[in-house]
Structure 1
Amino acid sequence: MEEEKCHSGQFEVGGYQWRLAPYPNGRKNSNGDGHISVYLAIADTNDLQPGWEVKVNTIRFFVLDQIRSEYQIIQDANGRVRFRNWKTEWGFAQLLSHDTLNDSSNGYLVDDSCAFGEEVFITCKGECLSMISQPQSNYFTWKIDNFNNFKCLKQKFYFSEQFTVEGRKWKLKLFPEGDGTGADTCLSLYLVLDGSEILPPDRKLYAKYKLRIRNLLGVNANNKMHSENYLLLFV
């Protein structure tokens, strides 16, 4: 039976293309039974010169504790790792046991999903890629005056002005009368990439964010603003 194998979108480090390659049920020929196996794989090797060799100084594998919102270092490989045409993957066959993964107190598996990350250092070229770096705090506020009049325009949805976070252009998308399961009963709000942002094929973009509506009942009593006339949305 063929082993089940996944792979991430491609990313670049040191001028080479890479993928994260997990085996959810373990890599059988490497004694990975009962574990999740995770490997770093070099991609697009057909574009490399005959006899190629790529040296990587450090590879670290992480798994996200979704309860505490922290990445835990599971395996850390220091020392030079060599990739060649007969060895295009390097990693750990027993990165994480299924028992550890399924233990809900660890927070690794929540709503049937888990998240892995890795850091790759190629110091000979002075480059590093971190798939789990923590972004700077960025806030965008969308102020909507006369919200009741805004709803009466009867458009299905509205976009905020464009804003930039972590080098990407974003917008908020608001459905005053709700969308999907919230239609006619809720206010629906989404974070969306601006239409000018085009991701390359096979590339995914992950974002950690919070969408909030400010509670205006806490404003000073002398302030004449009323919540039905003033709406603040921020991310």
Structure 2
Amino acid sequence: MDKYESTKFKAGGYKWKLVLFPNGNKKRNVDDHISLYLEMCGDKGIDPKFFVIVDYKFFLLNGHEKNYLVFEDANKNMKKYCIFQTIIGGLAGFDQFIPLEDFSDASDGYLINDTCEFGVDLFVSKKKRRGATEEFVCGHITNTVMYKYVWMIRNFSKLNVERLCSKPFTAGDQKYCMWRLHLYPKGRGRAKGIGFHSFVLELYKPHTYFPDGATVFVRYTIRVVDQIHGEHHYRTDLAMFTTSESLLILWTFITPTANARLLKYDSCIYEVEITILGLLIPQFSTP
């Protein structure tokens, strides 16, 4: 198996689980190591007026010595914040938890009779928003992962609508914000009626999971897939979304004529790639 997940357990009023990649987390280009992470789970979301902060240590049992090897975050200044239903950055833990060679060597005592034991010591604290005028930078997200969403529109030539919206989607396991793509076949605003499609990338319902004043920094690519020749049309850039300005409008991305040449079986494929780079969240204090 590529991934194992522990049963859910409670800590601090929320549910959590351990996620283990026995051959390394391939999404983060990890080889020759075990990857181990803590993930927030369950249906209980965090009130946007609050933050949850976690401090954790991982354990690996040494069966020969009857004690645990302890792993904790090398950078203790990097607190792990949780918003909505997930840890900022998606997962908290170690890409390179332990080398596979060391783990698999029976003489080291970690894997005995094809059995091993992992654990976590988890401390959960909750903080309340102090005020709308002060801000705290959650900062740059390390080990960023790009997520791709594919949107196929069938019977494209028969579209007779002003706007078409994709289903809301998350950037992988970063469930603290959702996204949506809008297509205006005949243009929108200043681009309406001048021969261009308009595309809008939306931070979907940000007040559901973010407090007022929150900002999300992303790198994005929006791509119209050329299903015939492989010569895709795309735009890549950096962008900033806030709770009050949650729409990114791309006025003149592609003409309907050019778009029609990319269709196959009257179906059009759009791809959105999103990498969340960092967050800016209003200041919080202990209640």
By percentage of residues, which structure has more helix? 1
Relative CO higher for 1 or 2, CA cutoff 8 Å, sep ≥ 6? 2
TM-score (ref. length: structure 2): 0.39
Q: Tell me the TM-score normalized by structure 1.
A: 0.46
Q: More strand by proportion, 1 or 2?
A: 2
